[in-house]
Amino acid sequence: MKNARRGCGAVLSAERLGRMAQVLKLLAHPHRLKVVEILDGRDRAPVRWIAEWLGLPHAATSQHLNQMKRIRLLESERHGKEVWYRIADRRCINILKCIRAQH
């Protein structure tokens, strides 16, 4: 029954559901959702800008960004002394779109 269809799509594997649960758990924090919103539509942004938009200290912002990078939602690259982040997994934008649609 692996490929059985229900409702709006195929039955998902336990591995896939586990990955999505991990993503949803991480994005359940308002600051991390705001990071997705900040990076939506931008190629990338430096940590200092993201921290300013969040209204958080640089260290707290970096912790949130590193958590998102750890599960591969974000990627980073260094430019001189600055670290710039971008969305690596565009599916997190879909989660944000679902939230916006419910507003």
CATH at 38 = 1.10.10.10
Is 10 inside a domain boundary? no
Answer yes or no: are the C-beta atoms of 91 and 23 closer than 8 Å: yes
Residue 3's H or E segment, with its range, is: none
* Residue type at 77 in one-letter notation: E
Q: What is the pLDDT, as a whole number, of residue 1?
A: 42
Domains identified in the chain, total number? 1
What is the tens place of the pLDDT at every residue in 5-55? 445 667 889 998 888 899 999 999 999 999 999 999 899 999 999 999 999
- Output the CA torsion sign for 59, 61, 63, 66: negative
Cα distance between residue 6 and residue 72, in whole Å: 29
Domain with 94 in it: 27-101
In a domain, 11, yes or no: no
Residue 61 belongs to a domain: yes
Please report the beta strands in the chain, taking only residues with DSSP state E, as ranges in sequence order: 5-6, 9-10, 45-46, 74-79, 82-87
